Amino acid sequence: MLSILEDYRYDVLETLFGNVEHCIVVVDRSGCVSYMNDSYCRFLDVQKSTITGQHVTEIIENTRMHIVVETGEEEMADLQKIRGDYMIAHRIPLWENGEIIGALGMVLFRDTDEWKIMNTHIKDLLLELETYRNQMQQQNGAKYSLHDIITSSPEVLQLKEKIRKTAHSDVSVLLRGESGTGKELFAHSIHHLSERSTKPFVKVNCAAIPEHLIEAELFGYQEGAFTGAKKGGKPGKFQLAHGGTLFLDEIGDMPLHAQVKILRTLQEGEVEAVGAVQPQEVDVRIIAATNQSLETMIKEQRFREDLFYRINVVQMDIPPLRARRGDIKVLSKYLLQKVCDRTGKRVQDFSPAVQDFFSQYHWPGNVRELENVIESAVHMTDRKVIGYEDLPPHLQSPSHPVRDGQSLKMVVEQAEKQAIQLALEESSGDKSIAAQRLCIGKSSLYEKVKKYNL
């Protein structure tokens, strides 16, 4: 009986859902499409004859059908983004004898007009929500929180724990790490978790302000304090951050005269605007960041030791990306999704050659560089999988800097593996063509494929 049902399952589904206006999809236990009705095929613009057996993620953008099969939990009236718009879908797991055998998905709109009206309504609501969110962010200035720090590295996980423990207190934090490692992200997260989270988060990039303007920028000025001063004066970053957090980025670039004044402000809780007669009370928490060795700068008398001790109460050293290679994989997946959401392009993965290159490359610009490389590749590619040739040209040159401690043998093997991966990719896996391209014999190629586990 069961096998008869098995044999007729497609026909049964077609009889039930074939003429229904709603979009219906059924997937099996492994998330592959067993059935999709004509309405859905028309909506997605796919050929009904070609989709059966394909994984549902290949067919439906942002689907969660394969996840419902895993979790066994139904998802009712869930928002799903398709081609830049939102639709609402039910996803229901299908059970047989206590075991999940698949899932049924149903899109809830009857005709395009109704859907358009609903979609516009939802978009309006989301836009409104986004506006409120932005207003909140503008008011307090901090965009990121702890869950935005993506990592699998034990060192960074420890730092996240340290943030949880220290954020609520008012201690100063010094964030150290190379450019692009995420210092600003950390500063935002500390502010978010602190008691000051509803108050302003104000950032000052000390390297970007001309030396003669730094005092006016930090402490503000009174009307008529100097030629060109604005009518009514201007509050400084300290005044703007009152009650909240002041993030001093690139503090190593702060001129000495401003360092003296910052220290005095922190010790006395008062700030003196340029040209002012009376000091003003300020209450700020300091988070500073640097990629320079402040200890060396102290020895060279370019940084004040007393200020160093004042800002260095809790220190967090964020390791460079090359020292936490496990993060490259998680971060690249996360950043690919982030870039796709931002650009509306649908790219799903990286080819093995790209993954291999990412894991070997030394990433001097750290996570920022990784994000830029992915963004550029997403724009360049015409496929769903980013290939080596989609990477920016400077990364495709054979002269990638060799990492410290690599022997000549390791470098040669790495280059050999990459060349083979590339040839295999370009020949769509055809080993005879790949061997020809590489000017080696087929058996030699087989040996190397085995050696490098390709």
Ligand X SMILES: Nc1ncnc2c1ncn2[C@@H]1O[C@H](COP(=O)(O)OP(=O)(O)OP(=O)(O)O)[C@@H](O)[C@H]1O
- Positions touching ligand X (CB under 6 A) are 148-151, 177, 179-185, 249, 291, 331, 367-368, 371
User: At 321, phi and psi to the nearest 5?
Assistant: -60, -35
Closest separation in Å from C-beta 125 to ligand X: 27
Instruction: With CA atoms as reference, report the closest residue to 294 among 183, 210, 174.
Output: 174
Rounded distance, CA 33 to CA 52, Å?
5
Nearer to ligand X, 150 or 263 (CB): 150
Lookup: tokens for 146: 């702890």
Q: Would you say 291 or 414 has its CB closer to ligand X?
A: 291
The DSSP output letter for 48 is H
Shortest Cβ 370–ligand X spacing (Å): 8
Closer of 292 and 436 to ligand X (Cβ): 292
CB of 431 to ligand X, least distance (A): 39
Give whichever of 131 and 205 is closer to ligand X, judged by the CB atom.
205
Please report, as a single letter, which amino acid is at residue 295. Answer: E
Instruction: Tell me the backbone φ, ψ of residue 223, rounded to 5 degrees.
Output: -55, 135
**Closer residue to ligand X (CB): 182 or 244:** 182
How many CB atoms sit inside 10 A of residue 226's CB? 11
Contact 400, 419 (CB under 8 A): no
Instruction: Count the Cβ atoms, other than its own, within 10 Å of residue 347.
Output: 21
DSSP string, 132-183: HHHHHHHHH-----GGG-----HHHHHHHHHHHHHTTS---EEEE--TTSSH
Instruction: For residue 356, give both structure tokens.
Output: 């291999």
Residue with Cβ nearer ligand X (251 or 354): 251
Residue nearest ligand X, CB atom distance: 182
**Pure H helices in 344-441:** 352-360, 366-380, 393-396, 408-426, 431-438
Give me the least distance between CB of 368 and ligand X, in Å please: 4
Nearer to ligand X, 51 or 175 (CB): 175
User: Cβ of residue 371: shortest distance to ligand X, in angstroms?
Assistant: 5
Q: Which of 36, 38, 8 is nearest to 21 (CA)?
A: 38
3-state helix, strand, coil in the chain (%, to 5): 50, 15, 35
**Closest separation in Å from C-beta 155 to ligand X:** 11
In whole angstroms, the minimum distance from the beta carbon of 64 to ligand X comes to 23
Strand order in the sheet with 23-28: 33-36, 23-28, 99-107, 85-96, 75-82
Residue-level length of the chain: 454
Q: Is the dihedral of CA 163, 167, 169, 170 positive or negative?
A: positive
CB of residue 342 to ligand X, shortest distance in Å: 11
How many CB atoms are located within 10 Å of the residue 257 CB? 10
- Asked if 172 and 286 touch (Cβ cutoff 8 Å), the reply is yes
- Centroid of chain to Cα 386: 17
Strand partners, 274: 221
Output 86 or 201, the one with its CB closest to ligand X: 201
Which CB sits closer to ligand X, 173 or 282? Answer: 173
Comparison of 264 and 322: residue with beta carbon closer to ligand X = 322
- What is the nearest approach in angstroms of ligand X to the Cβ of residue 150? 4
Q: What is the DSSP letter of 401?
A: P
Q: Specify the residue, 273 or 321, whose C-beta has the smaller distance to ligand X.
A: 321
To ligand X, the closest distance from the beta carbon of 401 in angstroms equals 20
State which H helix or E strand residue 77 sits in.
Answer: strand 75-82
Smallest distance from ligand X to CB 252, Å: 11
DSSP state letter for 55: B
Nearer to ligand X, 184 or 425 (CB): 184
At closest approach, how far in Å is the CB of 445 from ligand X?
A: 39
